[in-house]
Structure 1
Amino acid sequence: MKKSLLLLSFVFSVLGLNAQSLAVHEMDTVLEVNSMAMADYGFSIDIKNTSATDADVYVRRAYHEMDCAFDSGYFCWDYCYGSDIDSSIGYINIQPGVVKGDFSGHVYSPTTGNSCLDSTRYVFFNGNDNSDSLSVWVIISAGPTVGTIELSVTEDKVYPNPVVNVLHIETQKSGAFRLFNILGEEVKRTHFVPGHNSVSVADLSNGIYLYSIDGSTLKRVVINH
């Protein structure tokens, strides 16, 4: 099934005058989204350590302009950070020559129907030398007419992410929603009906959880009260 369209153009720049040890190994260049359908859209950036020594790599969101293509966003590195946090608290250790795919960036597309561009920038930097950094621009292009009607009416949608107290599920079929903690223990199970459903997570602790819909592939959601 073809997805709707969200173009992510990446432009790289090296910050600082010292030798750079970080490089982008692989990334998503095209992610499809439709500005008529509210959903969480993600992209990945794989980082490689090109130096001969270990690097403790942090990431921060250095620019986050949200005029129309998306209305909020979050990122995951050592942990998932909500839209109000721009810098990772922890780091990912990358050994010489090793590629890490721990990063994922996420944006929410509002149902505005707009055709427009927004942008955001992430900076990966070596905790042992802050001048050793890599800056990655992400240009986000959204439109209301791309994609297929079939996707808009059949794709299951679970939002928001991160979630505070109530998780919303939009689906065209009946089924079961299961939520697991990071230990793989089922912490919540509910049955849903076609249309809009709500699941309270107010009784659960903050953290990273995994969910599945009718036994589908596990996906990550962050609870942040």
Structure 2
Amino acid sequence: MKRTLLLLSFVLTAAGLNAQSLAVHEMDTVLEVNSTAMADYGFSIDIKNVSSTDVDVYVRRAYHEMDCAYDSGYFCWDYCYGSDIDSSIGYINIQPGVVKGDFSGHVYSPTTGSSCSDSTRYVFYNGKDNSDSLSVWVTISAGPTVGTIELSVTESKVYPNPAVNILHIETQKAGTFTLFNTLGEEVKRTYLVPGQNAVSVADCSNGIYLYSIDGSTFKRVVINH
């Protein structure tokens, strides 16, 4: 009997998140399931209000591309929402210092014989200030013998990779995105605002590039028109 290991891990980048009202308090760690039958498995994320005032918290699914189709397409917050709804209609009020464990996301156990990867993103946000938010990326990687679910909270996210004509950059704070070719020459510099940013790379040749945000560690991105 083939078994699939679903691994949920949490990585928090503290810099730039201190002004936010919301933080991940606790989440599932390891879940092992039988992947020989299609089954729905849920993972939970507990959200804490780290501010000094009440917060009405909504959640939305902001990025959802499921080529492997392992995501059962629903999440629960104040209510369980189907695959045709990406934003919660209602909210959950969280008082200062209080933790709420009402969120659950749902995936199917992988049964594929080939390897592939999917990503989706859940955003928890203050109903009175959309910029006061917390993003949780869910990456589902599956293969013929093992599958993993990785949850991460990061200060910035650059996708897709490879990119065709547009790079999407999600960041928690304002900053500067710089793109370099493999010779170390700067080819593009863009100022970022908190939240979602779109950077055109249509004028860049196909190939491997390096980027940094505010001089941080260089990371690789591929451009392939």
Q: Who is 1:87 aligned against?
A: 87
Query: For residues 12 and 125 of structure 1, what CA distance do their matches in structure 2 show?
Result: 17
Q: Partner amino acid for 2:94?
A: I
Q: By how many angstroms is 1:13 displaced?
A: 7.1
Q: Who is 1:134 aligned against?
A: 134
Task: Work out whether residues 11 and 137 of structure 1, in 8 Å CA contact, stay in contact via their aligned partners in 2.
Answer: no
Q: By how many angstroms is 1:9 displaced?
A: 4.5
Structure 1: which 5+ runs fail to align? 148-225
Q: 1:33 to 1:68 in 2, by over 3 A?
A: farther
Determine whether 1:32 maps to 2:48: no
Please give the per-residue CA displacement for 1:120-150, whole angstroms capped at 9, x wherever unaligned: 1100001111110000111112233349xxx
Query: For residues 26 and 18 of structure 2, what CA distance do their matches in structure 1 show?
Result: 23
Query: For residues 10 and 17 of structure 1, what CA distance do their matches in structure 2 show?
Result: 15
Query: For residues 129 and 20 of structure 1, what CA distance do their matches in structure 2 show?
Result: 11
Structure of higher RCO (CA pairs closer than 8 Å, 6+ residues apart): 1
Q: 1:31 to 1:8 in 2, by over 3 A?
A: same
Q: Who is 2:107 aligned against?
A: 107
Q: Who is 1:63 aligned against?
A: 63
Task: Work out whether residues 119 and 138 of structure 1, in 8 Å CA contact, stay in contact via their aligned partners in 2.
Answer: yes
Task: Work out whether residues 112 and 143 of structure 2, in 8 Å CA contact, stay in contact via their aligned partners in 1.
Answer: no
Please give the per-residue CA displacement for 1:194-213, whole angstroms capped at 9, x wherever unaligned: xxxxxxxxxxxxxxxxxxxx
TM-score normalised according to structure 1 size:
0.56
Task: Work out whether residues 7 and 30 of structure 1, in 8 Å CA contact, stay in contact via their aligned partners in 2.
Answer: yes
Query: For residues 34 and 63 of structure 2, what CA distance do their matches in structure 1 show?
Result: 23
Identity level (%): 90
TM-score normalised according to structure 2 size:
0.56
Q: Secondary structure at the match of 1:5?
A: strand
Q: 1:10 to 1:85 in 2, by over 3 A?
A: farther
Q: Secondary structure at the match of 1:57?
A: strand
Task: Work out whether residues 36 and 144 of structure 1, in 8 Å CA contact, stay in contact via their aligned partners in 2.
Answer: no
Alignment RMSD: 2.8
Task: Work out whether residues 10 and 139 of structure 1, in 8 Å CA contact, stay in contact via their aligned partners in 2.
Answer: no
Task: Work out whether residues 42 and 106 of structure 2, in 8 Å CA contact, stay in contact via their aligned partners in 1.
Answer: yes
Query: For residues 17 and 26 of structure 1, what CA distance do their matches in structure 2 show?
Result: 17
Instruction: List structure 1 runs of 4+ shifted beyond 4 angstroms.
Output: 9-14
Q: Secondary structure at the match of 2:96?
A: coil
Structure 2: which 5+ runs fail to align? 148-225
Q: Partner amino acid for 2:81?
A: Y
Task: Report the count of equivalent residues.
Answer: 145
Q: By how many angstroms is 1:80 displaced?
A: 0.1
Q: By how many angstroms is 1:41 displaced?
A: 1.3
Q: 1:38 to 1:66 in 2, by over 3 A?
A: same
